[in-house]
Structure 1
């Protein structure tokens, strides 16, 4: 008896990322991260600010503390970003202040990441009483409010600068990363490749450095980026409210002087808008790098991110967590599916 094909709905699974592009087996997998558009954009912005932080004091057109007779002047050929209420050049303040912002973020990110990796991996790999002790220590630091603690310490130390703020953030911001590292290490220490290395007589430090840590690289990088973002925002916030010394130039210091001298009410938009844009650009760059790391770690996000142009050209909108399914009418066959969706189906 022939079946009624009009009641059968055919489905053709479309794999936009794998069917149309074949990855070169000679290309190392780690370089796939550099093909991500979000990651490249974020890294480019970070490199720009990094170069500016290194050469900023030498390329600044003026001394940021130099007072002139050009009081509160708008942008001009003499002062590209205008001047403040004492005639100091805003562009020079931004260029010189870039170093202070990035140094705080780098020191805090490195110190918090190192502490988180050491505590988390040790707790997850050793187990037993050591795991319980380190986990309890992580729980204690996890509930410590970082920003109020930084404000108290900076208030008690009048000379506390960016390095002090960075060290406090690093000493109190490692707990969340340690918890994540511990959970991932517990999952990795019983894997077959770790057990095989242990059966071959490898020492514990060798197992951790050669087998466990390489599989935690993406998570470590994501934690580092998150800590740097928090450290930068904390430094700018503390400078803006006047907790840290206002004589040390950074973007928050510029906003502090602009707020105290009523730049908004006086219409001096050039005094606070450029510094705010720099803060927004740096935060966006760190966020884009974090998104790129997520797409590199997650296979589904990686497939979509690496082939975004192909998906846009074919007008396919895959949903995260689901395989795109293209429905074809009965009897159309695989050629109709390969041709792509019809105008009615796309709408």
Structure 2
């Protein structure tokens, strides 16, 4: 048994090296995937540095209300004469931070519970899966509507916490299934035969094998969180204390009449374009990851 585990070390190093070669090969095969990386990097920079680039509060021009797109204002201005591009850039931080916080919480909880349930099975499995089934039956939108009456969600982390606690059930189910498959593999049996602790087996043996699947779930959870929070702000059930894309959509449609007048149309299209581009970037990255981690999908 000792010889088996000792021989796995150079194999893992070689596998890791081959993995990164495969990543570069998959990205180069389709330029659209490189575009996905660029798009995500651009939005990450917007979230980090956007509020630093544009002053707070944003300048207003009372003589340029709903101004048409121009070199000075590529997406025009809003009902207060504020540059729409500046609103999109500064609003990216709330949206993306909420998405990342939601993904981290949902995937971390779901992965932890799924690993424990799938590895231990028995009573642990029954209890945790019943808890997961209960979570999956909770209606997310009605609960969020109720919470908005007592919670203002001023911070993106607060919003991410609630969305994350409402979104871990599906991840837990999927991770449990993966764990049940991996726990019967030879390297797990070898680790058990050596008397290694359960913590070591789960963290050092099982978790790395599930890292690709977990990474894909993180990106998918980010997309779902973006739609959820933007939808809540668009419906007007959350206070407009923070600048974000959902607030822009609400004000453009219900305040500016963007659906009936062309004056506020750029104010409506700018956040929609931002959401579309961010979703496109995530989809392209998930497509690349799917091919990287699924050899059957790789092209010759």
TM-score, normalised by the number of residues in structure 1: 0.76
> Which digits, 9 at most, give the CA deviation of each residue in 1:32-88, with x for residues without a partner?
124323543322211100011111012237843645321111112332321112212
Q: How does 1:214-253 map to 2 (within 5 A)?
A: 214-253=208-247
Q: What is the Cα deviation at residue 26 of structure 1?
A: 9.4
| Corresponding residue to 1:174 among 155, 160, 168 | 168
Q: How does 1:155-304 map to 2 (within 5 A)?
A: 155-158=149-152, 160-260=154-254, 261-268=256-263, 269-301=265-297, 303-304=298-299
Instruction: Say which one has the larger Rg.
Output: 1
Could you tell me how far apart the structure 2 residues matched to 1:31 and 1:110 are?
A: 27
Could you tell me how far apart the structure 2 residues matched to 1:192 and 1:44 are?
A: 40
CA 1:281 to 1:171, structure 2 compared with 1: closer, same or farther past 3 Å? same
Could you tell me how far apart the structure 2 residues matched to 1:26 and 1:248 are?
A: 43
Could you tell me how far apart the structure 1 residues matched to 2:91 and 2:171 are?
A: 29
Q: What is the Cα deviation at residue 209 of structure 1?
A: 1.2
Could you tell me how far apart the structure 2 residues matched to 1:146 and 1:290 are?
A: 25
Q: What is the Cα deviation at residue 283 of structure 1?
A: 0.9
> Which digits, 9 at most, give the CA deviation of each residue in 1:321-342, with x for residues without a partner?
xxxxxxxxxxxxxxxxxxxxxx
Native 8 Å contact 2:95 2:245 kept in 1: yes
Native 8 Å contact 1:107 1:166 kept in 2: yes
For this pair of structures, how many residues does the alignment match?
281
Q: What is the Cα deviation at residue 30 of structure 1?
A: 3.7
CA 1:145 to 1:137, structure 2 compared with 1: closer, same or farther past 3 Å? same
Native 8 Å contact 2:154 2:242 kept in 1: no
Runs of 4+ with >4 A deviation: 24-27
Q: How does 1:42-57 map to 2 (within 5 A)?
A: 42-57=36-51
1:35 aligns with 2:25: yes
Could you tell me how far apart the structure 1 residues matched to 2:184 and 2:17 are?
A: 30
Could you tell me how far apart the structure 2 residues matched to 1:27 and 1:225 are?
A: 24
Structure 2 match to 1:105: 99
Native 8 Å contact 2:109 2:168 kept in 1: yes
CA 1:159 to 1:180, structure 2 compared with 1: closer, same or farther past 3 Å? closer
Could you tell me how far apart the structure 2 residues matched to 1:62 and 1:248 are?
A: 12
Higher helix share: 2
TM-score, normalised by the number of residues in structure 2: 0.87
Structure 2 match to 1:131: 125
Q: What is the Cα deviation at residue 96 of structure 1?
A: 0.3
Could you tell me how far apart the structure 2 residues matched to 1:157 and 1:149 are?
A: 12
Q: How does 1:84-123 map to 2 (within 5 A)?
A: 84-123=78-117
Native 8 Å contact 2:153 2:159 kept in 1: no
Q: What is the Cα deviation at residue 245 of structure 1?
A: 1.9
> Which digits, 9 at most, give the CA deviation of each residue in 1:228-269, with x for residues without a partner?
111011111111111222231111111111012202322122
Native 8 Å contact 1:96 1:249 kept in 2: yes
The unaligned stretches of length 5 or more in structure 2 are 1-13
The unaligned stretches of length 5 or more in structure 1 are 1-23, 308-347
Native 8 Å contact 1:34 1:40 kept in 2: no
